[in-house]
Amino acid sequence: MRTPLDLAEAHPDPAFTVTLDGREIEALPGQTVAAALWSAGVTSWRTTRGEGRPRGVFCGIGVCYDCLVTVNDRPNQRACLVPLHPGDAIRTQEGTGHDD
Amino acid sequence: MSKRLTCDVVVVGAGVVGAACAFYAARAGLDVVVVDRGPVSGGTTGAGEGNLLVSDKEPGPELDLALLSGRLWAQLAEEIGEFVEYEAKGGLVVASTPGGLTALGRFAEDQRAAGVVAEPVDGDSLYDLEPHLAPGLPGGVYYPQDCQVMPALAAAHLLRVSGARLLTGRTVTDVLLKRDGTVDGVRTSLGDILAPTVINAAGTWGGELAALAGVALPVLPRRGFVLVTEPLPRLVRHKVYAADYVADVASDSAALQTSPVVEGTAAGPVLIGASRERVGFDRTFSLPVVRALAAGATKLFPFLSDVRAMRSYLGFRPYLPDHLPAIGPDPRVPGLVHACGHEGAGIGLATGTGHLIAQLLGGKTPDLDPAPFRPDRFPDFPDEEGA
């Protein structure tokens, strides 16, 4: 199967481990939270404030604020923009992300 | 493709003022077409906070229009309130010094005489209303008539329920005049729209539309930024602002002015304003302005220092030299009717504006004397931007 890595002829450094709600997933250096979650087969990581509907990446370029996620205890970060580092703890987010 | 349309009224501008004009004109039985070069709420409406305020207005024609508009918004809310996030949240104006509180108290007294509900709030009660305000503030005034809507939704739903025909993505390139000098409609990038009445609801660009009809209307842009935080639980309950804001609104200065205006929204984010600058249509992001907004808001609500600002947006208030809108028929071009120049109050004043214009078009006695809003009240006004 051709992957984006083949298409871009990318040779990233070795993968590292981050966690999603405590579960370990792999991420490549330079990958955003959204890219790593997609690679792990996760497409939704937030529920909306009003009706609890599932949300993940919509625009993918930092404009729409739909992909908000909690990273290292900081809520409401755009998954499509935040690059991952080894050991980062991603948490799915409900409501405002402030435990209301 | 060029297509010719005929109707009773063409409204130029699909912002909230144009939408309200379309709504009330259509309810009065007129066949209305709304045309805009961009999308619905694509100009100043979409860059606003959605305030329906009486608190920041001194007694006079603008306050009278705000009170009328507030009553009309409340009626509309029964029909579309839920869709437009209508919230009768109330406004709280906060003084920072005892002297400021005295001045604010006098201002509120004059407003009460003009029909505003303005309740003095002492230092203790302040924190019952807004528990997260900075400690040690001497007091303020509470204005239960201040309300909020989500402005882009307000324009869209007003247009929807108006039943008016909506044509977006069409630029008005000329105002068509008959041989006798009366209005015959507009020329657009996609054909002519014929009508005996053209309503100029082009907001900050209202001067350009007036010029197409051959008349001067000195609408100028007054830039403002809004800073948007991450979504939060309801920590700010009212629209809260510092007493200095009122002076800034009424000021004629071109230089940057900021005074903190803080409010929670139904959707979660807290909106932080307000800045005023006359810099033309410059859309460049300004870190100094946004920094000043953040500093002012944090002084009022210290918890905001731990909250992330997610983004900011900016818009251009349509500003006329005497801070009053232009509302009503233009005696210089029969058939041309203006509804623009509401500065930072257009969302709030939209309903009263549309209602008055529908009354004037129908030959009825308007609920308010429109004389202070006469569009031809600026004879040969010099070009301020060049000054």
Domain containing A90 — which CATH number? 3.10.20.440
Confidence band of A95 (pLDDT split at 50, 70, 90) = confident
Q: Nearest by CB to A76, which of B231, B233, B267?
A: B231
Q: Looking at CA atoms only, how far is residue B29 from chain A in angstroms? A: 38
CA distances in angstroms from B386 to B141, B142, B183, B350, B382, listed in the order given: 40, 41, 31, 30, 9
Confidence band of A10 (pLDDT split at 50, 70, 90) = confident
The verdict on A76 touching B (C-beta cutoff 8 Å) is yes
The verdict on B306 touching A (C-beta cutoff 8 Å) is no
User: For residue A76, which residues of chain B lie inside 8 Å, CB to CB?
Assistant: 230-231, 308, 310
Q: How many Å apart are CA A7 and CA B70, to the nearest integer?
A: 59
Confidence band of A100 (pLDDT split at 50, 70, 90) = low
Among B residues 214-233, those touching chain A with beta carbons less than 8 Å apart: 230-233
Q: How many Å apart are CA B333 and CA B354, to the nearest integer?
A: 20
**pLDDT digits 0-9 by tens, A67-91:** 999 999 999 999 999 999 999 999 9
* Domain membership flag for residue A100: no
Could you tell me which residues come within 8 angstroms of residue B186 by beta carbon, excluding any fewer than 6 positions away? Answer: B10, B12, B35, B172, B174, B175, B176, B192, B193, B195, B198
**Do A49 and B308 make contact, defined as CB atoms within 8 angstroms?**
no
pLDDT of residue B384: 44
pTM as predicted: 0.88
CA-nearest residue to A50 within chain B is B267
* Domain membership flag for residue A48: yes
* Domain membership flag for residue A99: no
Which residues on adjacent β-strands are paired with residue B354? none
pLDDT of residue B386: 38
Mean pLDDT of the A24-45 span:
96
* Domain membership flag for residue A28: yes
Q: Looking at CA atoms only, how far is residue B235 from chain A in angstroms? A: 11
Q: Nearest by CB to B232, which of A50, A74, A98?
A: A98
* Domain membership flag for residue A65: yes
User: For residue A75, which residues of chain B lie inside 8 Å, CB to CB?
Assistant: 230
User: For residue A50, which residues of chain B lie inside 8 Å, CB to CB?
Assistant: 267
Q: Nearest by CB to A65, which of B232, B233, B310?
A: B310
CA distances in angstroms from A82 to A47, A61, A71, listed in the order given: 19, 11, 9
* Domain membership flag for residue A17: yes
Is-contact A27 A83, C-beta < 8 A? no
Which residues on adjacent β-strands are paired with residue A91? A70
pLDDT of residue B349: 98
Environment class of B377 (CB within 10 Å of its CB; exposed 0-12, middle 13-18, buried 19+): middle
What's the structural domain count of chain A? Answer: 1
Among B residues 70-109, those touching chain A with beta carbons less than 8 Å apart: none
CB atoms within 10 A of CB A76: 23
Length of chain A: 100
* Domain membership flag for residue A44: yes
Q: Nearest by CB to A49, which of B268, B310, B311?
A: B268
**CA within 13 Å, CB half, B47:** 23
Amino acid at B359: Q
CB atoms within 10 A of CB B368: 17
CA-nearest residue to B232 within chain A is A96
Q: How many Å apart are CA B125 and CA B120, to the nearest integer?
A: 10
User: For residue B233, which residues of chain A lie inside 8 Å, CB to CB?
Assistant: 95-96, 98, 100
**A90: domain range?**
4-94
Dump the DSSP string for A29-72: TT-BHHHHHHHTT----EE-TTT--EE--SSSSSSS--SEEEET
pLDDT of residue B245: 72
**pLDDT digits 0-9 by tens, B329-377:** 999 999 999 999 999 999 999 999 999 999 999 999 999 999 999 999 9
Q: Is A92 left (phi over 0), alpha (psi -120 to 50) or beta?
A: beta
Place of tokens 């005295």: B102
pLDDT in tens, chain B (387 residues): 456 789 999 999 999 999 999 999 999 999 999 999 999 999 999 999 999 999 999 999 999 999 999 999 999 999 999 999 999 999 999 998 898 899 999 999 999 999 999 999 999 999 999 999 999 999 999 999 999 999 999 999 999 999 999 999 999 999 999 999 999 999 999 999 999 999 999 999 999 999 999 999 999 999 999 999 999 999 999 999 998 777 666 677 777 888 889 998 878 899 999 899 999 999 999 999 999 999 999 999 999 999 989 899 999 999 999 999 999 999 999 999 999 999 999 999 999 999 999 999 999 999 999 999 999 999 866 544 433
**Do A49 and B230 make contact, defined as CB atoms within 8 angstroms?**
no
pLDDT of residue B381: 60
Residue A97: pLDDT above 90? Answer: no
SS3 content of chain B, % helix, strand, coil (to 5): 35, 30, 40
User: For residue A98, which residues of chain B lie inside 8 Å, CB to CB?
Assistant: 232-233
pLDDT of residue B302: 97
Choose, out of B230, B236, B311, the residue to mutate when testing the contact with A (most A CBs < 10 Å): B230
CA-nearest residue to B270 within chain A is A96
